[in-house]
Amino acid sequence: MDLTVLLGTLGALASIAIGDLMEGGNPAHVIHITSLIIVFPTALCAAAVGTESHALSAAFKEIKIVFTKSKADTPARIKQIVEFAVIVKKNGVLALEAEAANIDDDFFKEAISMVVDGSKEEQIEEFLDPIIEETEHYYHGATHYWLLTGETCPVIGLIGAVLGLILALAKLDNPAEMAKGIAGAFTATVTGIAGAYIFFGPWGNKLKGKAHLIVHEKKVIMEGAKGLARGDSPSVLETRLKNMITAMPSK
């Protein structure tokens, strides 16, 4: 579980609720079932219109990444690659064949298998680079959907508020009911803003950051495989790969 998501969401909701209580309000009144039905499903559907079908499928498949720890562990991969470089130096490239069979990551396994097969670094890059680009495109599409949903929520919330006001104004002969209707209408605006900045928007940005780590790990693996193919020494290869982490832009 990614505690930054859980604690961040709960903290945001709690701070709003506490502020509302301090002003004499009741946070429960903001939770309006009709507003939730109008805003969230509509925003999700509207964002689907602006998203490619394969990216929409990826968005729902990969949303679990938002709530779990990143499956990318670049330092661990670097350590493994350096260990492979030691094996190559002592026993030759063919000694990696047994190691490749035990690798649990398909991309990593393919990269090391190419080294064992005697592929040159140009061949390794030519084969692996398109896979990295496709992975990047895959996660970009998934991220786009959740960010677009977040961007859509406030506008849908405004639509819900206007619809509620139209119904409320039809009750001019009953001021009490009209006031209740106006209050309910504005909950749609609150719901839309919350959807944008507490839920869907942050989910999209979290997925974007974790996807970046996944793609970057693949780039490090590719560079590691190229280094093994070149016959780089373990120390040189380790330094080069660790520099890739240092130079990685923050997301």
- From 88, 73, 219, select the one nearest 98 (Cα to Cα): 88
Does residue 41 lie in a domain region? yes
Give the domain extent around 40: 33-246
My answer on whether 11 and 63 are in the same domain is: no
Report whether pLDDT(180) > 90: no
pLDDT tens track for 204-222: 999 999 999 999 999 999 9
pLDDT tens track for 106-157: 999 999 999 999 999 999 999 999 999 999 999 999 999 999 999 999 999 9
My answer on whether 41 and 24 are in the same domain is: no
pTM of the model: 0.89
The residue assigned the tokens 């991220």 is 143
Taking only Cα atoms into account, the Rg of the chain, rounded to an integer number of angstroms, comes to 26
CA separation for the pair 221, 22 (Å, rounded): 53
Amino acid found at 248: M
Does residue 119 lie in a domain region? yes
Does residue 238 lie in a domain region? yes
Does residue 188 lie in a domain region? yes
My answer on whether 196 and 116 are in the same domain is: yes
Number of domains in the chain: 2
- pLDDT of 247 reads 55
My answer on whether 21 and 93 are in the same domain is: no
My answer on whether 26 and 38 are in the same domain is: no
CA separation for the pair 150, 167 (Å, rounded): 27
CA 21 vs. chain centroid, Å, equals 33
My answer on whether 20 and 82 are in the same domain is: no
Report whether pLDDT(29) > 90: no
